[in-house]
A and B are shown apart, each in its own frame.
Chain A
Amino acid sequence: MTERFRAGDRVLTSRADPLHHTRLPRYARGATGTVVELEGRYPLPDDRSRGLPAAPEAVYAVRFSAAELFGAGDHQVTLALWESYLRPFPGRGQANE
């Protein structure tokens, strides 16, 4: 199984606000960032926390500018994000988002 993203790829995080456990923080939802590296493959905690089957899935270190996340700041924030939380940017239909 190959990973969907590589270092340098631009990605957009999900805007979903699930009622279950997740590891995509609110402050990084609907944000565009750059993949730094593949961190490994791990089962999705959204599923593991609900007793659902969870096959390992790629997790990436993704870097965002503070301006992108908060509208201000000169720093960067790197988060470790499961592939399920990400989609390519730009992607199809995103001109309307």
Chain B
Amino acid sequence: MSDHHGGPGHGLAARVRHVEALLEQRGLIDSGELDRALEAYLTRASPANGARLVARAWLDEGFRSRLLADANAALPELGLSMGGGMQEQRLKVVANTEATHNVIVCTLCSCYPIALLGPSPTWYKSESYRSRVVRDPRGVLGEFGFAPGPDVEIVVWDSTAESRYLVLPRRPAGTGELGEAELAALVTRNGLIGVAAV
């Protein structure tokens, strides 16, 4: 059994080191592989990537159309890709509109567009979010301080297969004079997941 907060209780850290050492001794993994896996996850994957996609889509209708029609094909236009993980996943970008608000979850585990959002937050992976957002999305969004209007239909996307979903938030009012970098700075990870407006 494990310590409630996942600390190295019961010698977990030592057990991990022990198994890793065994695998390295047998030539089943090497430290170079381990470093590369971490580097891809920690440095190249970031919500700044998702934010750049959104800013470009806000400024360029053609890009927005291409992004919504075939996101994997549009990503290279910004030098991005869904690769870098275990396999290249299909990206599906879902646009918020005046009538529809989208929110993403993986009820079965924790699937998430890591390449465009960076590592997922603990709350996204929690039983609390996974169990509740499909049943009561308004309640969950309210806990994040976000309340779509009563006429806005909420669509929850459960990442049960190989697609990874990214929300394209609506461009906030009063941002007409902002450049692409400034627009990207408005976009939060929570907005890209759909628990915030932007």
Contacts and interface: CB of A to CB of B under 8 A. Distances in A.
B113 to A, nearest CB: 13
B153 interface: yes
A82 interface: yes
Contact of B134 (A27, A61, A81): A27
A23 B161 contact: yes
B108 interface: yes
Given A25-B107, A25-B108, A66-B135, A75 B162 contact: no
Contacts of A81: 160-161
A27 to B, nearest CB: 6
B90 interface: yes
B24 interface: no
B107 A80 contact: no
Contact of A79 (B92, B154, B158): B158
Interface residues on B, range: 20 to 34
Given A27-B107, A75-B153, A75-B154, A39 B160 contact: no
A61 to B, nearest CB: 7
B160 A40 contact: no
A49 interface: no
Interface in A18-34: 23-25, 27-28
Interface residues of A, number: 24
Interface string A72-93: 0111111111100000000000
B138 A78 contact: no
21 contacts: A24-B160, A25-B107, A25-B108, A39-B92, A39-B163, A42-B161, A59-B162, A61-B92, A61-B163, A66-B135, A70-B135, A75-B138, A75-B155, A76-B155, A77-B156, A77-B157, A78-B155, A78-B157, A78-B158, A80-B158, A80-B161
A28 B134 CA distance: 10
B75 to A, nearest CB: 16
A76 B107 contact: no
